[in-house]
Structure 1
Amino acid sequence: MGRGRGGSRTQRRHFRQNRENVWKRTKPDPSSESNNENNGGDPSWQPFATQNPAFEEYYKEQGIVAPEEWDLFMEVLRKPLPAAFRINSSSQFCSDIRNQLESDFMISLQSEVSEGGEPQPIRPLPWYPENLAWQSNFSRMQLRKNQTLERFHEFLKLENEIGNITRQEAVSMVPPLFLDVRPEHFILDMCAAPGSKTFQLLEIIHRSTKPGSLPDGLVVANDLDVQRCNLLIHQTKRMCTANLIVTNHEAQHFPGCRSNKKCSSGAEIGTELEPPISQLVFDRVLCDVPCSGDGTLRKAPDIWRKWHPGNGNGLHALQVQIAMRGLSLLKVGGRMVYSTCSMNPVENEAVIAEILRKCGGSVELIDVSSELPQLVRRSGLKKWKVRDKGQWLSSSKDVGKYRTNAIVPGMFPSGRSHAESVEHSGSMEQEEKHENGENGNVEDALQSSEDAVISANELDEEVSSFPLERCMRIVPHDQNGGAFFIAVLHKHSPLPANQGTANCLEGDLDSTIDEPLVKLPTQDTEDTNGLLASLADDTDETLTEAASEAELIEGEPDGAALGPDASITSESNVSEATQVPGDGAADPKKTGGKRKQLQGKWKGVDPVVFFKDETVINAIKTFYGIDESFPFNGHLVTRNSDTNHVKRIYYISKPVKDVLELNFSVGEQLKITSIGLKMFERQTASVASCAPCAFRISSEGLPLILPYITKQILYASPVDVKHLLQYKSIKFSDFVDAEFSVKASGLMLGCCVIVLSKGGKSSSDPIQVDESTIAIGCWKGRNSLSVMVTALDCQELLERLLMRIETGNGLLETKDEASNAEGDDDMKDVERNGDEENATAATEG
C-alpha cells in the first residue's frame, strides 16, 4: 500500500506522537457559537471537510468510475472505513478464534448493526481463503466509543497484541494473495512498514510447517526509515519467526549482494552440505510503493484537504525506480506484485506501462482475473491524461518547455516524447502513401485523408498499446472498503542490460546498483527521510497508509515510544574488531561516564555476530537435554561479539543463515536491523546466579525448540496450569496433582517448561508435541514455581484453556490467592524479570 512519504512532515510528527484518531481535529475555540451550532452543541469535535473540487474534477475526467456511479462513489468515500482484521493462519489457536467469531460474535453483535449499514455486524470476506479475513460493520471510532461493543473491542486488542490476528485494511490484504507464495520461496517486501503484509507473507510460508520445523523460504522486509523499521519489527515479532530479515535501505537502491567467490566460510560453520548461495535474488517481490494515498481517504480524511494532482506526478519517477529495482532482484520465472493505495493512473497504469517499455519482452503483465473470483475488481485503464499547473495534458507534445523535467513522457499512455510522436506520425503517412500508390484513385485518396484526421484526433487522446486491462483497480463502493491498484508481473528472461541486469547470466544483477535507474525530475528535492518530494504545483504534505494503518493497532507504542530497537542498540558492543576506524577508544570523560557504543559498518546498528561459545552452548544443551537432531551450529547469532556481555541469543533458519553468510562475504552490504528469533536470554535475577544454566528459554523461541527438550519439562493437569496462569506463582505444596508437585520440586533450579496434559497423561510420561500442544515457560525456585509469561499472554492462554476443557467442580476450585501468590522473594524477582523480558519486546529484533 502506498505510503506517500515525500514531503510528509505532518505525518511523521503524528506518527511519533501516536495520533489517536485521524477523524478528530484540534478543539475549536469554545467561545465560537457558530462552531457549537454546527457540531450539535459539542465544541470538542469537528469532522474534516470531505470534499475537494480539484479531486472531483480530476477523477471525473480520468473516468475512474462510470458517470452514473459517481454519486455513490463519492458518498462511500465520505463514510468512515469499516474495521477489518485477519486471523493468523499459522497460529495454534486459528480454529478457536474462527469458531469464536462464527458462533459467538456474529450472533451477539447482531443487535448493534448500524443504520444504513450491512445486514451483518461482522462477516468473513468472501474472497479471502478459508474465512480467515473478517470485516466489521463498525468503524474504529464506533468500536472505541460504543460501550456495547466493548467485549468485541477488547477481543480485537488482545488477539492483535498476542499475534493471533492482525488488524489491517481489507484491500491491503489483497496483494500478497496474488504473489502465489510457497514455503520454499525467497520473498522481498521492498517497502514493508508498518508490516501487515510482511506478517501475511510470513503466515503463508509458515502455514504448512510442523512443530519444531522451519520453512525453507524467508522474507526480507525492507524500509528506508529506522523508526518505521521499529514499528515493522514490533508488528512481525508477534509471528515468532526465524525466517525474517529486516533491513533499512532505500528500496530503489536495495543491495544486490552478489559474491564472486565460489566457496564460503559457511561450510566451516554449518553442517549442511548444500553449496552456499552466491547472490541474493528472490522468487517473489512485493513492490508496494510510496504513493499519494488517496485510496485511504475513508480512514485518513485529512487527505481531502491536502489532495493535489501534483502529489502523484511527483512520485511517478520514484515508483518506476523502485519497480525496476524489484524486477532486477527477481529471479527469472519469478512473480512481482506492484501495488498502491492510490487511484491516480499516473501512479498506477503509467508506471506499469513504463516498466513494460523498459523491460521489453522480458516481463509480462499477466492476467489473474480467474484468481480470487469473489473479489470485485475493475480492469485497468488504457487511456488517461496528466494534470499539471491547472492544465490537462493529453500527450508529451502538450508539455510546456519549462515543465519537461517534471512531466516526463512515461506519464502518458504512449510513453513517447514529442519527437518520437512526430517521427511515428511521419512513418504512418509514408506507409499510407506506399499502400495507396502514386496512381491511387480519388476515392482512396479521400478515404486516406479521413483516416489521417482520425489518427490525428487519436493522437490527441493517447491509448496505451500494452494490455493494461489486466491490472486491477478496486474502488470503495464495490465492497465497502478502500481503493487499491494491483498489477501482477512475470519475469520471463533477464532484463535488458541497460535496464539494470547483466544479460549474460540468469538473474545476474547489475554491478552499478547504486546508480539511479531512472533520471529524476530536477524539480524534485529530497526530504529528511530520503524520499522525493515534488516541488511542482506546490504540493502539500500528504497523509499515507503507513501512519493510518499503524493507528489500527489500538494502544500500540509509536515510533518515539518504541525507542531504538533492541537489535539496533540493546547491547553495547565492546569488540574492538567491529569498531569503525578512527572512532578511537571510548573516553569516559567525553561520554559523561557512560561507555560509548562502538559501531559496526552501519552507524547506529550493532553488528550481527555468529555465536560460537561452545561452553555456553553445551551448558544450554545439557541443562535442557536438547536433542542432537536440533541444528545448533551456525544457527545462533547475537548482536554482541563479547560473550561475557551477551544478553540475548537469536536463532536463524537455514535460508537466513545462508543470506547472512553471503552478506559477510560481500562486505556487509545489507544493513540489518533485525534478524532471527529470540531463543535464549540471560537470566539477570539474583537467584539466577545459583542456577546451573544462566540462560532461560524465551517465550518466543519455545514453540520451535519444544519438541527437542528432554529435561526440565513436565506435564501438568489442566487445573494446575489454570492456577499457574491465574496466580503466576504457586508453592509446590499447593498444586492439586501430588505427583506433579513432587516432580516439579525435583527439577533443577532455573528455567523449566510446563506442558498442558491431555488425555490424563502423567507428569512422568514422555512429552509428545503436536500443533495443539500448549506449553509455558516457568522458573523453578526453591519452594515454588513461577510463570515467565506476560500478563497478556497469561490472559490469552487462560481463555483458550477454558474454551478447550470442561470446567467441572475440580476446575472451579479456588485457593487463597494471597497464599498461592506467596513464594520465595527471589521467585518474585524472577516473575518481574519475566514480565520485563516481554514488556521490552517491542524494541527487540
Structure 2
Amino acid sequence: MKASRTPVSLHNLLVAGGHRKRCFGGGRKRGRLQRRHLTQALESFWRHTLRPAPPVVVARGEANPSWQPPPLENPAFEEYYKEQRIVREEEWDDFIGVLRKPLPATFRINASSQFFKDIFSKLENDFKRYLESEVSDEYGDDAIRPLPWYPGNLAWHLNFSRKQLRKNQALESFHEFLKHESEVGNITRQEAVSMVPPLFLNIQPDHHILDMCAAPGSKTFQLLEMIHQSKEPGLLPRAPVVANDVNAQRCDLLIHNTKRMCTANLIVTNHEAQNFPDCCLANDPSEIYRSNCKPQRLEFDRVLCDVPCSGDGTIRKGHDMWRKWNSGMGNGLHLLQVDISMRGISLLKVGGRMVYSTCSMNPVENEAVIAELLRRSGNSIELLDVSNELPELVRRPGLSTWKNHEDVPDDRKNVILPSMFPSSESTQEGQSVCDNIEVKTDSNRSFSRNFSIEKISKVCCDTDGVSNCNSKCSDSTSNSMGSNFPLHRCMRIVPHDQDSGAFFIAVLHKLSPLNEGQVVEVTKTEHILSTNRAVNFHEEPQLETVPPGKVVVHQQKIGFKFLDDDESLEEKKKLSMYDHALKKDNNLIEVSLVSGDVKNDQAESGNRRKKLQDQCKWKGVDPVLFFKHLTVIRSIVSFFGINISFPLEGHLVTRSADSDNARRIYYVSKSVQEILQLNVEVGEQLKIASLGLKMFERHRSKDGCPCAYRLSYEGLPLLLPYISKRILCASPNDFLRLLQYRTVNFAHFIDARFGEEAASLMPGCCVVILREGHQNLDLDPKTMDPTTIAIVCWRGKATLNAMVSPPDRKELLERITHPFGLKAFRVEEDENPQRQD
C-alpha cells in the first residue's frame, strides 16, 4: 500500500459524494439507495485502501515480542544526584536499586467515618489473615501491615504495587474492597510519604487552615479527617479548611475527591497560590497603612505549602520519569516555589505554623527554597526542629551543602539564580542575593501539582537545554559551600529507608509580622490608567514582602470603564477614586487622600456592594449567596421538626442567583460563614469554586407535598439528631428490602405496621432509621448517636422510595447483613417484581 495514494483516493471519493449531493437537491436528505451506495463506497475504500497491518498473534501466557519496557535508567539523573550527595556513596546502589522497583500501595482509613470500626476490624481479622495465607510466598509474611509512624494505625502498607493489586487474581476481592471503600470516602488511597506533611501541622480544633496547592485533594481530605476527629460528638468542628488550586479542571478533581467527606467546613478556591487574595477589611482605605489600626483580615493558623515540583521523588510509580528527567526541571520551578512560600508566610498568623513540602529530591527545590525564605524574612520566621515528632518515621536531615553557583554566565542568569545555591549572605539593605537579577518568567503561566515535565523544560531551557548549561559551568560549579542556616532541621525521606517514595518537608514558625519594619505599602492609581481593559474598583492591592527601606508601589484597579491608551492623562485621572500622595520624612511614610472628580457618596457605594452581592464577579463561576428566604426556611423547619438549637439562618447558602427557586441549598459552618461575610465586604476577592455541605434539594413532585425541598443524604448525618418529624423505624428485613429494591409498595413490607405508618405519612420526604424491631417507636433525637444508620426516602402515593446512590446502598447492605444474619443481595439494578403493583 502506498501512503501517497491514500489522500487522493479519499479526496476523490468525498468530491464525488458532494457532487451527488448537489445533483440530488442540495441540502435535502439523500434517498435510501443513495445513502447505501455512498456507505458501501466508503466501506470499500477503508477495507481495501487503508487495510491495517495484521495483528501480532501472541499465545496466551507468552510476552508480546514487539513490546519492550522503558529502560529504568538515566545517566544525567545519576550523575546529578551523585554530585548533590543526597545519599552516601556506599549506599548509592541500594538507593538506585529501590528506585527501579515498583512503589508499594498504601492507603489510609478515615477515622471520622461512621463505619470506621467495621473497616478496621475487617482489615485486622479478615483480609490480613487471608493475604498472609494466600500471597505470603510471593509477597512475604507481612503482605499488609499498618505503618508504624502513622498515629492510631490508620495508615496501611502493602508489599505489592497498585498494578500488582489489579493483576493478581488472589487479590481481586481485596482490590474490590479498596475501590468501593475509597469511592464512599471510608479510605483514601495515597502514597505513604504524601501523608507526612499534614501530620507536622499540629492541627487544633479552632485553627484556620489553608492548603495552597491542594489538587488532587488527598492531603486536603487528610486535613478534613483531622478536624472532624477533634470535634465533640454531635457538633461541627470549628476549624475551616480553604483548599486552593490554580487550575479549574484540577479544582473539579479536588471537589470530587473531597466531596466524599461530606463536610460543612471546606471552601475550594481557584487562584494562583503566589497571588492568593489578601482579604483585608477597613472602614477607611487610609487606615490600612496606619500602625495603630488592625483591620479585619483573612489569616490562617496553619498553612500547607505542598508546592508544584519536578516530582522525581515519585519515579517509582511513574517510570516515564526516567526518560523525561533533566536538571532544568527543578531550576524552572525554583522561583515559583519561593513566591508561593512567601505568600503562604504572609497569610500565616503570628505564632502559626507552615509546612513546606515537595515530592522532589532536588536541593534547588528544597533546601535552596527554605534558605531563601529565611533570607527574605529576616527574623520573622524560624525553621523548627521537629525531630521529636513522629519518632518512628525514618527521616534524614536536610542538606547544608550542594553545588555552588560561582561564575555562572550572564546569559544564563535568567534560569540559574544565586538563591538556588547555599549561601546566607545578603545585601546591605537586607535584600535577597537574587533580588537584583531580572528573571524572565511568564506571569500568566498556570502551574499545578501535576505540571507536565515537557512544559517545565520549555520554561527553563533554551534550545541547548539547561543540562548543557550545567555541563558548561561544571568546572566553575564543582566547588561547594555550606549554608549558615540550620537546614539540617529539614527532613528528607529517601526510598530505601522504608520502601517508600522520596519526599522533602520543612516546618516553619512565624515569630512576627513580615511587614513590621520591612514592608511599606503605597497605592498608586496612575499606573493602570493607560490600559486597554476593564478594571474593577473592588480589587485591593496584594501584600508583598520586601527588604527594609523599600517602598512597594501597587496598582490599584479603579472604575468600570474601558480605558484607551490615547485618552489624555487628565481624563484618566478623573476616574481615580483616590490620589495617594507620598511623603517621606525620617523613614516614615504618610499617606494622604485627595478626593477625585468621580462621585463616591454612600448611596452609590452601597448600590455597588449590593450589585456584587447579587452576582458573582468571577467569569464562569456561580455566585455564592446567603439563602435568606425566611418563608422557605420556616417551611423546612416546620415540615421536618428541626430543633431551634440547630442554626439554619445565616448558615445556608446557594449558588443560584434566583434564591426563590434555588435548586440546592448548602450548609456552612460558623467559621466558613465568617469567611464568606468578609469576602462579600471586600468585594468578592475569593474565587470560590465549591463550599459547604449539600443539605436540601428542591423537588418537583406533584404528590402534594407542602415543603418544596427534600433532605439530602449527604447532609442527613449532621441534621438527623435535630429532626423530630417525618421519621420511620424499619426492621432489618424491611430496611434491607428498601435498599435492595429502592421502591417498595406499602403492602409489601414484611412488617405490616411499618407499611401502615409509611402510608399514614403526608406525601413528601422522610427519614427511615434502622432499628431492631419497633420497640422504640417514639424516638428521641437526643438518643441518636453517630452509629445510627438512616436513609432519606420519599413517601409517594402508594410506595416508599429510597433516595440513596448505588455506592452508598452497597455500603449499607454490607454493614447490615452480617450483624443481623441477613442474606446479602446484589446492588445491581435488579428488576423488582413488586413495582408493577
Q: TM-score, normalised by structure 2?
A: 0.73
Does the 8 Å contact 1:777/1:789 carry over to 2?
yes
The corresponding residue for 2:542 is: 513
The reply on whether 1:403 has 2:412 as its aligned counterpart is yes
Which of 602, 619, 630 matches 2:618?
602
Which of 716, 724, 744 matches 1:730?
744
Which of 439, 447, 462 matches 2:481?
462
Shift of 1:496: 4.5
Query: Which ranges in structure 2 are unaligned for 5 or more consecutive residues?
Result: 1-51, 286-293, 434-475, 523-538, 548-606
Which of 692, 698, 702 matches 2:706?
692
Deviations 1:310-357 (A, max 9, x none): 110111111000010000000000000000000000000000011011
Which of 791, 800, 805 matches 1:776?
791
The corresponding residue for 2:493 is: 474
The corresponding residue for 1:571 is: none
Shift of 1:651: 0.6
The corresponding residue for 2:658 is: 642
The corresponding residue for 1:716 is: 730
The corresponding residue for 2:592 is: none
Distance in 1 between residues matched to 2:357 and 2:428, nearest whole Å: 31
The corresponding residue for 1:78 is: 100
Which of 110, 126, 132 matches 1:104?
126
1:296-311 matches, within 5 Å, as 296-311=314-329
Shift of 1:579: 12
1:249-328 matches, within 5 Å, as 249-261=271-283, 278-328=296-346
Does the 8 Å contact 2:400/2:483 carry over to 1?
yes
Shift of 1:48: 2.3
Shift of 1:823: 4.0
Distance in 2 between residues matched to 1:257 and 1:515, nearest whole Å: 14
**Cα distance change, pair 46–334 in 1 and its aligned pair in 2 (3 A):** same
Distance in 1 between residues matched to 2:712 and 2:76, nearest whole Å: 54
Does the 8 Å contact 2:397/2:489 carry over to 1?
yes
The reply on whether 1:95 has 2:121 as its aligned counterpart is no
Does the 8 Å contact 2:703/2:797 carry over to 1?
no
The alignment covers a number of residue pairs equal to: 654
Distance in 2 between residues matched to 1:118 and 1:369, nearest whole Å: 31
Deviations 1:357-409 (A, max 9, x none): 11111111111111111111111001001xxxxxxxx23x3211222232111
Distance in 1 between residues matched to 2:515 and 2:655, nearest whole Å: 40
1:647-666 matches, within 5 Å, as 647-666=663-682
Shift of 1:779: 0.8
Distance in 1 between residues matched to 2:131 and 2:396, nearest whole Å: 33
Structure with greater Cα Rg: 2
Shift of 1:79: 1.3
The amino acid that maps onto 1:822 is: Q
The reply on whether 1:181 has 2:203 as its aligned counterpart is yes
Distance in 2 between residues matched to 1:329 and 1:482, nearest whole Å: 30
The corresponding residue for 1:148 is: 170
Distance in 2 between residues matched to 1:465 and 1:47, nearest whole Å: 45
**Partner SS for 1:486:** strand
Shift of 1:43: 5.0
Shift of 1:111: 3.9
1:159-198 matches, within 5 Å, as 159-198=181-220
Distance in 2 between residues matched to 1:793 and 1:367, nearest whole Å: 44
**Partner SS for 2:252:** helix
Does the 8 Å contact 2:744/2:801 carry over to 1?
yes
Deviations 1:205-231 (A, max 9, x none): 111335542111100000000000000
Which of 69, 75, 79 matches 1:53?
75
The corresponding residue for 1:268 is: none
Shift of 1:822: 2.7
The reply on whether 1:795 has 2:830 as its aligned counterpart is no
Shift of 1:759: 8.0
Deviations 1:99-157 (A, max 9, x none): 10011111111244376744312111111111111111221111212222111111111
Which of 785, 794, 800 matches 2:800?
785
**Cα distance change, pair 32–515 in 1 and its aligned pair in 2 (3 A):** farther
Among all aligned residue pairs of Structure 1 and Structure 2, give the percentage whose two residues are the same amino acid: 60
**Partner SS for 1:110:** helix
Deviations 1:166-186 (A, max 9, x none): 111111000000000112110
Distance in 1 between residues matched to 2:419 and 2:516, nearest whole Å: 20
The amino acid that maps onto 2:672 is: V
Deviations 1:762-783 (A, max 9, x none): 3334342102111111111122
The reply on whether 1:676 has 2:663 as its aligned counterpart is no
Does the 8 Å contact 2:730/2:769 carry over to 1?
yes
Does the 8 Å contact 1:716/1:754 carry over to 2?
yes
Distance in 2 between residues matched to 1:820 and 1:41, nearest whole Å: 46
Shift of 1:791: 1.1
Does the 8 Å contact 1:89/1:207 carry over to 2?
yes
Does the 8 Å contact 1:113/1:137 carry over to 2?
no
The amino acid that maps onto 1:287 is: C
Does the 8 Å contact 2:717/2:786 carry over to 1?
no
**Partner SS for 2:481:** coil
Does the 8 Å contact 1:688/1:750 carry over to 2?
no
The reply on whether 1:742 has 2:742 as its aligned counterpart is no
Shift of 1:493: 1.0
Distance in 1 between residues matched to 2:616 and 2:496, nearest whole Å: 51
Distance in 2 between residues matched to 1:690 and 1:292, nearest whole Å: 59
Which stretch of structure 1 is more off in the superposition, 74-83 or 329-338? 74-83
Distance in 2 between residues matched to 1:698 and 1:742, nearest whole Å: 25
The amino acid that maps onto 2:812 is: L
Distance in 2 between residues matched to 1:295 and 1:401, nearest whole Å: 31
**Partner SS for 1:690:** coil
The amino acid that maps onto 1:481 is: S
Distance in 2 between residues matched to 1:164 and 1:75, nearest whole Å: 34
The corresponding residue for 2:399 is: 381
Which stretch of structure 1 is more off in the superposition, 43-52 or 746-755? 43-52
**Partner SS for 2:412:** coil
Distance in 2 between residues matched to 1:465 and 1:114, nearest whole Å: 49
**Cα distance change, pair 498–419 in 1 and its aligned pair in 2 (3 A):** closer
The reply on whether 1:413 has 2:422 as its aligned counterpart is yes
The corresponding residue for 1:222 is: 244
Deviations 1:477-515 (A, max 9, x none): 111111000000111111245866889xxxxxx974276
The amino acid that maps onto 1:789 is: V
Which stretch of structure 1 is more off in the superposition, 210-219 or 668-677? 210-219
Q: TM-score, normalised by structure 1?
A: 0.73
**Cα distance change, pair 30–315 in 1 and its aligned pair in 2 (3 A):** farther
Does the 8 Å contact 1:578/1:599 carry over to 2?
no
Distance in 2 between residues matched to 1:197 and 1:321, nearest whole Å: 21
Distance in 2 between residues matched to 1:374 and 1:760, nearest whole Å: 50
**Partner SS for 1:721:** helix
Distance in 2 between residues matched to 1:791 and 1:727, nearest whole Å: 11
Deviations 1:573-603 (A, max 9, x none): xxx999999xxxxxxxxxxxxxxxx972000
Does the 8 Å contact 2:813/2:824 carry over to 1?
no
Deviations 1:522-545 (A, max 9, x none): xxxxxxxxxxxxxxxxxxxxxxxx
Which stretch of structure 1 is more off in the superposition, 209-218 or 156-165? 209-218
What is the aligned-residue RMSD (CA, Å)? 3.3
1:617-628 matches, within 5 Å, as 617-628=633-644
Does the 8 Å contact 1:731/1:820 carry over to 2?
no
Distance in 2 between residues matched to 1:691 and 1:760, nearest whole Å: 27
The corresponding residue for 2:503 is: 484
**Partner SS for 1:361:** coil
Which of 822, 826, 839 matches 2:834?
822
**Partner SS for 2:769:** strand
Query: Which ranges in structure 1 are unaligned for 5 or more consecutive residues?
Result: 1-28, 264-275, 386-393, 425-456, 504-509, 519-575, 582-597, 826-845
The amino acid that maps onto 2:282 is: N
The amino acid that maps onto 1:782 is: K
**Partner SS for 1:650:** strand
Shift of 1:756: 1.2
The amino acid that maps onto 2:223 is: L
The corresponding residue for 1:234 is: 256
